[in-house]
């Protein structure tokens, strides 16, 4: 097997990305075959198992973008494609030493027992020890308001490398510190907003809230809030009584908005809304025409006399 029949090529495989993902590795093998037929002028191509392992190493969807191979024409007439590794062949220049250099080396050798043989170990011992790098000083960032440089302790990473004061990681740390400060302020405000209030103040805000709902067109919720007056108990508990469970469910859906409004206006974050259902209260409400007439009749009995005189119906 002569050197003229052996060549090394870098086969580009970038076009495999144009094919479907489940066929990319097979397409890469076919591209290597086509490349070998074109450049080696032989139709029969055999690909070594190691080359196919490299193509399929990351799965069928992601073959390498290029591969370096050795193409050898055998005595049987086919081309064998094998993997090419740089540095695997011995360097001929180092192996072929001229006889003149060998003679000079022998002449330089001495029989003196005190002579020191220079080896890699002796060179390492003689080499000066490298001094450890000093820790970098703390980075400072200018304060625009007071024109004062404030020291910022920047944490170290796993590799014991200091993070730059203007890097993304240091900015994230500053944002976390600011968020924690904001949360502390919110907790302080919550403690402060526990002022006491009277039932009269509550009823005024209650009426104002459902009148706003009427202006917005939310008549269903506004009518539910008009069924009863809220009662204040234990300084922060608001008790509200309804006639049925359907009204209770409707109010519970919109309870959060009502509580936010009351807490903000009354400066008290401990306010709770407790909803009760009293079915006897339903009798107080009038729905049909007969019930409406009977209600008016109980208020003013002369309505019945007027109905009979004029022979009115309802």
pLDDT confidence of residue 70: 93
Torsion sign, CA atoms 43, 44, 48, 54: positive
CATH superfamily label, 3-83: Ribosomal protein L31 (3.10.440.10)
Give pLDDT, residue 50. Answer: 92
CA distance 47 to 29: 8
pLDDT digits (tens, 9 = 90+) for 136-172: 454 444 444 444 344 444 444 444 445 555 567 677 7
pLDDT block averages, 10 residues each, the chain of length 314:
73 91 92 92 92 92 93 91 74 49 53 47 50 49 42 44 59 79 66 76 88 87 85 86 84 86 85 83 61 81 85 74
**CA-wise closest residue to 69 among 43, 48, 45, 91:** 48
Specify the pLDDT at position 166: 57
E-assigned strand segments in the chain: 6-12, 45-47, 66-73, 79-83, 140-143, 148-151, 231-233, 237-242, 272-277
CA distance 170 to 303: 83
pLDDT of amino acid 149? 40
Please give the pLDDT value at position 257.
Answer: 86
Q: Decide: 25 and 56 in contact? Cβ < 8 Å.
A: yes
* 141 beta partners: 150
Tens-place pLDDT, residues 71-126: 999 988 899 999 998 765 544 444 444 555 556 545 555 444 444 444 445 445 54
Strand partners, 175: none
pLDDT of res. 37: 92
- What residue segments make up the domains of the chain, in order of their start? 3-83, 199-277, 287-314
Fold of 199-277: GMP Synthetase; Chain A, domain 3 (3.30.300)
**Quick check: do 3-83 and 199-277 share a fold?**
no
């Amino acid at each position: 097997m002569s050197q003229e029949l052996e060549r090394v090529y870098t086969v580009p495989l970038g076009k495999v990305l144009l094919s479907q993902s489940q066929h990319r590795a097979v397409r890469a093998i076919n591209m290597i075959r086509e490349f070998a037929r074109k450049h080696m002028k032989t139709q029969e191509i055999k690909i070594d198992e190691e080359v196919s392992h490299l193509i399929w190493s990351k799965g069928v969807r992601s073959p390498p973008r290029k591969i370096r191979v050795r193409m050898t024409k055998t005595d049987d007439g086919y081309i064998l494609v094998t993997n090419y590794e740089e540095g695997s062949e011995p360097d001929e220049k180092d192996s072929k030493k001229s006889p003149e250099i060998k003679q000079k080396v022998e002449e330089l050798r001495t029989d003196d027992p005190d002579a020191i043989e220079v080896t890699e170990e002796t060179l390492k011992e003689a080499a000066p020890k490298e001094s450890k790098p000093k820790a970098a000083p703390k980075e400072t960032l200018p304060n625009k308001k007071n024109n004062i440089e404030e020291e910022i302790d920047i944490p170290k990473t796993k590799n014991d490398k200091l993070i730059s004061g203007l890097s993304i990681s240091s900015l994230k740390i500053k944002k976390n510190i600011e968020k924690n400060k904001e949360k502390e302020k919110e907790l302080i405000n919550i403690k402060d907003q526990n002022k006491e209030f009277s039932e009269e103040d509550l009823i005024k805000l209650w009426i104002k809230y459902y009148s706003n709902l009427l202006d917005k067109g939310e008549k269903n919720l506004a009518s539910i809030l008009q069924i009863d007056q809220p009662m204040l108990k234990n300084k922060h508990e608001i008790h509200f009584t309804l006639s049925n469970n359907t009204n209770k469910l409707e109010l519970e859906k919109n309870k959060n908005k009502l509580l936010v409004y009351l807490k903000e206006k009354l400066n008290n974050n401990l306010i709770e809304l407790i909803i009760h259902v009293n079915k006897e209260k339903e009798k107080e409400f009038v729905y049909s025409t007969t019930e409406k007439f009977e209600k008016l009749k109980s208020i003013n009995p002369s309505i019945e006399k007027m109905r009979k005189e004029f022979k009115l119906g309802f």
